[in-house]
Amino acid sequence: MIENALPDDPSPKPLKTVPLDSWHRAFGARMVEFAGYSMPVQYQGVLAEHLHCRSHAALFDVSHMGQATLSGPTAPAALERLVPGDMLALKPGRQRYTLLTNEAGGILDDLMVTRLADDRLFLVANASRKDIDFTHIAANMPPGVQLQPHDDRALLALQGPAAAAVIGGIMPEAAQLPFMGAAQVALAGIPCLVSRSGYTGEDGFEISVPAEAAQELAQRLIDEPEVVPAGLGARDSLRLEAGLCLYGNDIDELTTPVEAALTWVISKRRRADWDFPGAAAVRDQIENGAPRHRVGLRPDGRAPARALTEIVAGDGTEAGTVTSGGYSPTLSAPIAMGYVRKDLAAVGTALHLMVRGKPLSGRVVPLPFVPHRYAR
Amino acid sequence: MAKPPADIRFTKEHEWVRLDGDIATVGITDHAQEQLGDVVFVELPEVGRDVASDEACAVVESVKAASDVYAPLTGKVVETNQSIIDDPSLVNSDAEGEGWFFRIEIDDTDSFEALMDHAAYDEYLETLD
């Protein structure tokens, strides 16, 4: 009965490893394949790790994600040719969430962009998309702007209400960062790039660190009594509670920022110029409405409605599809996100979720499921 | 390891079956719960349902994934364990005891004997690593 359960390294082809691979295994991590990498999915258990992150702090290794620097005098303007966000107005030391869009307005990836200096941007992209992203970006840069991927760096995320106190004991400057602020900080001589951001809805930090120093940093963080290591399992349940999109599930090349309820990433200036890839399609949806919307969903019972669950309207017509779904450890109840027809997207709309052939009642609810607690 | 009771059998799908007369109690093995992780939801068959051997008749879900539980033997469901509906974590804490799933009345005890005994199941688990 466990064919669908978390498998141990099921892939026959050799997996890439992260710098902390042996460290994870020494902690008893269960390693699984994710985006071509062997990654820890859990240590003590998803539930305990999830709840510890909400109550104290958890350390995630997200070194499989793509890191790169875009440099050159016109780097911010050049990146604006590919994304709908305002990169020119992004101040040094500030970070922004943005999207790579295609000519149809579809989402090629979501990424974090940090302005390191006037002529340098630091990018973090999804593991499953980084090769596509970096090829796409490099191919579209003008002379004088270079993209340098950092395969030699690890990325750690410390998340939770105790994260600031923990980081403050190791890197005092980092604890002073505002939400979505970033700084280059030396830790015992190790050059790190720290940003106050994350993927859990909690206050927290993401730390880019040279691969050879990753273990020292991870160990120092985990030695703090408030911190436990957490795997991709808890990362996924935390981000779902926070209503955050997972690329490949909730957003992809066939979803637009408008449908995905990510219209806020399109800055005011970019909406005046409408000059990002897919701007015409996106503008049309903003002005005339999108056919479907990403919404939060709460099944009424206790059965989780997983990704790809069909959603049916009260009158029996097709309503949409669940794109992420599972169990919320914080709410002790099933939660889901999905796309529904625009006439069914209002909060409170009753819907049916087709779980194992049976219609389970549920309704549209606001996102996030668990309030964000970012530093302000 | 203490010698386990002789009346327990196991399936390749990681169910255990304990036979008492013609009543078979079915659950998932400790190995299965360990692999699944935190169980958060269980769906059990209706009492009175006729089930065939290898038929999917229950569901167990962890935070991450849903898995089917199969009837290891042919028979009629006579009882289900409300305790694991109310507290699915029982499947983790006592998979081969209080965490049982359902009971079926079977008409053929020979098929029970044909399932793996504890030693055979342990050997089978070795082949999975």
pLDDT in tens, B4-42: 455 899 999 999 999 999 999 999 999 999 999 999 999
Closest chain B residue to A32, measured at CA: B35
Residues whose CB is less than 8 angstroms from the CB of residue A310 and which lie 6 or more positions away in sequence, other chains included: A318, A321, A322, A353, A354
Closest chain A residue to B30, measured at CA: A2
Query: Shortest Cα distance from B109 to chain A (angstroms)?
Result: 22
- A4 band by pLDDT with thresholds 50, 70 and 90: very low
Contact across the interface for A5 and B41, Cβ inside 8 Å: no
Which domains, and CATH codes, for chain B? 8-108+117-124 (2.40.50.100)
pLDDT at B64: 81
- A104 band by pLDDT with thresholds 50, 70 and 90: very high
The closest of A218, A193, A220, A219 to A207, measured between CA atoms, is A193
| Antiparallel, parallel or unpaired: β A333-341 and A292-299 | antiparallel
**Residues A194-239: pLDDT tens digits?**
999 999 999 999 999 999 999 999 999 999 999 999 999 999 999 9
The closest of B78, B80, B77, B60 to B68, measured between CA atoms, is B60
Any bridge partners for residue A97, and if so which?
Answer: A112
**Residues A277-311: pLDDT tens digits?**
999 999 999 999 999 999 999 999 999 999 999 99
Query: Shortest Cα distance from B82 to chain A (angstroms)?
Result: 14
- B107 band by pLDDT with thresholds 50, 70 and 90: confident
Give the helix ranges, DSSP H, for chain A.
21-26, 46-55, 75-80, 130-139, 163-170, 172-175, 214-222, 232-241, 268-273, 279-288
How many CB atoms neighbour CB A14 within 10 A?
Answer: 8
Query: Shortest Cα distance from B111 to chain A (angstroms)?
Result: 19
pLDDT at A187: 80
Judging contacts by C-beta atoms under 8 Å, the chain B residues touching residue A233 are 37, 63-64
Judging contacts by C-beta atoms under 8 Å, the chain A residues touching residue B41 are 302-304, 327, 334
- A13 band by pLDDT with thresholds 50, 70 and 90: confident
Contact across the interface for B41 and A304, Cβ inside 8 Å: yes
The chain-wide mean pLDDT, for chain A, equals 95
